[in-house]
C-alpha cells in the first residue's frame, strides 16, 4: 500500500471516529490488518468483529494487537455476565462500520434480515453508515442470487456499496471479485465520514481531467509541472462514490493506482493527446471538471533522437508554440447545458488573478488555490482557496483535506446540472 501525504489529524475526517470493522469469510480478509493499522495511525478507535470463516483466514490475535482492543468472535455474543447483548452494544458504539470483505453468505444474511451470527445481528442492529466492500470468486459474484442481493443492497439507507475490482483471484480465476484495495477502502471510508452515503450523482456522467501534461523536446527531456494528479483523481473517485459514471483523462500520476479503481481511465501525456481525449468525450458527459495542470507551451522543434546540450539549446532558442486553452475551448463548444468547473493554481494575490481567469475562461465554477502557502497546492494532502461562481458568488474555502474539498466542489457542480 503506497503512502500518500498524510492529513494532519485536526483535518482528518477519520480521526477520533469509532470504526467497527466487520470481517467475513473471503481470502481478502488477510488484507484487513493493514487497514486496521492505518485507521489506528490516523487516530480512529477501532474494534474488529469476525465471522467464524474470517477467523480461519486472518488472525484475531493480530487484529486485537493492531486495533489495541480485544477482537470479537461468535463465541463472545452471549454471556450471562453482560448486561446488554454484545451485538447491540457494538452496533450502538460505532460511528462508522467498515464491512470488508463482505462475503456472499454475510451479504445474503443481511439482505434477508437474518441475525444468526454476531456480525449478522450487528448489521441489523446498527444505525451507523456502513461501507460494504464485496469480495468473492468470479462465478459466485456473477451468480443470480448474489447479483440480486447486491442490487437490493443499493437500496439500503446508510450503505455505501463498493463493488469488487477485476483481476487475478486467489482461486486462480481472472475476473471480477477482488476486494477494493486497502488504500481505496480507506478513501471510501473517509468519504463516508466526510460526505456520507447519498448517491446524488447516480445516473450522471462526469468527465474529469487530472495530473500534469508533458511536452517533449526529445525522447529524454520534457517540460512539465509538479502536479501529482491527487485533486483530480479524488474528485473523480468522490463522484464515483456518489454514483456517477466517471471518465478520467489523466497525465502521469504520482499516487496509488488503486485510487483509479471503478473509474474509466484514459492515460495521456501531451496537451494534444489531452485535447483529443476531451473533445471526443465531451458530447457524452453531463458535466466536466478540468483539474489537469496543462503545460502552457510546447517546443516548436521536437527531436526523434536525443540531441547534445548545444543542439538542445539551439532548439529551445528556436521558440515555443502555445498549447491551446482547452478549458476555454470546452466552454465554447458545448452544445447543451453542461456545467464546467475549472481550477487555478496561483501565487501572490490569488483572488484577483482568479477573478480575471474566471472571466477569461468562461467556465461556470472556478476553484483557485495558492501554491505559495504551506499545506496548499501541488502534492499536499490539504488545500484551501476560493470557489468562484456561479455568477458573482465567491466562497472562501478554509484548509481541509483534498477529499472533503472534492465533495464541496462536486456539490457545487451538482447544483448546476440540468
Catalytic residues: 171
CB-based contact 349:371 (threshold 8 Å) = no
By beta-carbon proximity to ligand CTP, the closer residue of 50 and 326 is 326
290 is a contact residue toward ligand CTP (CB under 6 A)? yes
342 is a contact residue toward ligand CTP (CB under 6 A)? yes
By beta-carbon proximity to ligand CTP, the closer residue of 63 and 327 is 327
Question: In sequence order, what DSSP letters do the residues of 164-198 get, joined into one string?
Answer: PEEEE-TTS-EEEEEPPPHHHHHHHHHHHHHT-S-
Q: Least separation, in Å, of the C-beta of 325 and ligand CTP?
A: 5
By beta-carbon proximity to ligand CTP, the closer residue of 72 and 343 is 343
Q: Least separation, in Å, of the C-beta of 245 and ligand CTP?
A: 21
Q: Least separation, in Å, of the C-beta of 370 and ligand CTP?
A: 12
Stretch of 65-73, 163-171, 288-296, 395-403 contacting ligand CTP, by CB under 6 A:
288-296
Stretch of 171-179, 290-298, 380-388, 396-404 contacting ligand CTP, by CB under 6 A:
290-298
Q: Least separation, in Å, of the C-beta of 349 and ligand CTP?
A: 12
Distance (Å, rounded) from C-alpha 107 to C-alpha 96? 18
Count of residues that interact with ligand CTP, criterion CB under 6 A: 12
User: Taken in order 358, 364, 365, 371, is the CA torsion positive or negative?
Assistant: negative
Distance (Å, rounded) from C-alpha 324 to C-alpha 229? 20
By beta-carbon proximity to ligand CTP, the closer residue of 17 and 402 is 402
> Interface residues for ligand CTP in 303-332 (CB under 6 A)?
323, 325-327
Distance (Å, rounded) from C-alpha 54 to C-alpha 52? 5
Distance (Å, rounded) from C-alpha 266 to C-alpha 95? 37
Distance (Å, rounded) from C-alpha 327 to C-alpha 363? 8
Stretch of 51-59, 63-71, 92-100, 338-346 contacting ligand CTP, by CB under 6 A:
338-346
By beta-carbon proximity to ligand CTP, the closer residue of 131 and 365 is 365
Applying CB under 6 A, among 143, 296, 334, 373 the residue interacting with ligand CTP is 296
Count the residues in the chain.
Answer: 418
Helices (H), 177-259: 182-194, 230-241
Beta bridge partners of 72: 49
343 is a contact residue toward ligand CTP (CB under 6 A)? yes
Applying CB under 6 A, among 344, 388, 406, 410 the residue interacting with ligand CTP is 344
292 is a contact residue toward ligand CTP (CB under 6 A)? yes
Radius of gyration of the chain (CA): 24
Distance (Å, rounded) from C-alpha 72 to C-alpha 22? 10
Applying CB under 6 A, among 73, 133, 189, 294 the residue interacting with ligand CTP is 294
62: which residues sit within 8 A by CB, 6+ positions away?
33
Residue 271 half-sphere exposure, CB side, CA atoms within 13 Å?
Answer: 21
Footprint of ligand CTP on this chain (CB under 6 A)? 290, 292, 294, 296, 323, 325-327, 342-345
Amino acid at each position: 500500500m503506497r503512502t500518500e501525504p498524510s492529513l494532519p489529524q485536526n483535518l482528518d475526517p477519520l480521526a477520533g471516529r469509532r470504526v467497527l470493522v466487520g470481517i467475513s469469510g473471503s481470502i481478502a480478509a488477510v488484507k484487513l490488518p493493514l487497514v486496521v493499522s492505518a485507521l489506528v495511525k490516523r487516530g480512529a478507535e477501532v474494534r474488529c468483529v469476525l465471522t467464524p470463516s474470517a477467523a480461519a483466514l486472518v488472525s484475531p490475535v493480530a487484529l486485537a494487537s493492531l486495533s489495541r482492543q480485544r477482537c470479537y468472535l461468535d463465541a463472545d455474543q452471549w454471556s450471562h455476565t453482560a448486561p446488554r447483548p454484545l451485538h447491540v452494544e457494538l452496533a450502538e458504539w460505532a460511528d462508522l462500520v467498515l464491512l470488508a470483505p463482505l462475503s456472499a453468505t454475510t451479504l445474503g444474511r443481511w439482505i434477508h434480515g437474518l441475525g444468526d451470527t454476531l456480525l449478522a445481528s450487528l448489521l441489523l442492529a446498527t444505525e451507523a453508515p456502513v461501507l460494504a466492500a464485496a469480495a468473492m470468486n468470479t462465478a459466485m459474484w456473477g451468480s443470480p442470487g448474489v447479483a440480486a442481493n447486491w442490487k437490493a443492497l443499493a437500496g439500503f439507507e446508510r450503505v455505501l456499496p463498493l463493488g469488487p475490482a477485476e483481476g487475478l483471484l486467489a482461486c486462480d480465476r481472472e475476473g471480477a471479485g477482488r476486494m477494493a484495495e486497502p488504500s481505496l477502502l480507506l478513501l471510501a471510508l473517509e468519504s463516508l465520514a466526510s460526505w456520507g452515503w447519498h448517491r446524488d450523482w447516480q445516473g450522471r456522467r462526469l468527465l474529469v481531467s487530472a495530473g500534469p501534461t508533458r511536452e517533449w523536446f526529445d525522447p529524454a527531456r520534457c517540460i512539465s509541472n509538479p502536479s501529482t494528479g491527487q485533486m483530480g483523481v479524488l474528485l473523480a473517485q468522490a463522484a464515483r462514490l456518489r454514483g456517477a459514471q466517471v471518465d478520467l483523462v489523466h497525465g502521469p500520476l504520482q499516487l496509488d493506482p488503486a485510487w483509479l479503481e471503478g473509474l474509466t481511465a484514459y492515460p495521456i501525456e501531451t496537451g494534444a493527446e489531452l485535447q483529443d481525449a476531451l473533445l471526443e468525450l465531451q458530447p457524452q458527459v453531463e458535466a466536466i471538471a478540468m483539474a489537469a495542470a496543462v503545460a502552457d507551451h510546447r517546443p516548436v522543434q521536437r527531436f526523434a533522437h536525443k540531441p547534445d546540450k548545444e543542439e538542445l539549446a539551439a532548439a529551445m532558442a528556436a521558440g515555443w508554440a502555445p498549447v491551446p486553452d482547452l478549458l476555454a475551448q470546452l466552454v465554447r463548444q458545448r452544445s447543451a447545458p453542461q456545467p464546467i468547473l475549472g481550477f487555478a493554481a496561483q501565487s501572490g494575490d490569488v483572488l484577483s488573478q482568479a477573478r480575471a481567469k474566471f472571466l477569461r475562461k468562461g467556465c461556470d465554477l472556478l476553484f483557485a488555490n495558492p501554491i505559495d502557502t504551506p499545506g496548499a497546492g501541488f502534492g499536499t494532502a490539504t488545500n484551501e482557496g476560493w470557489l468562484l461562481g456561479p455568477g458573482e458568488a465567491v466562497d472562501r474555502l478554509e484548509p481541509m483535506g483534498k477529499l472533503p474539498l472534492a465533495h464541496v466542489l462536486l456539490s457545487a457542480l451538482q447544483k448546476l446540472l440540468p
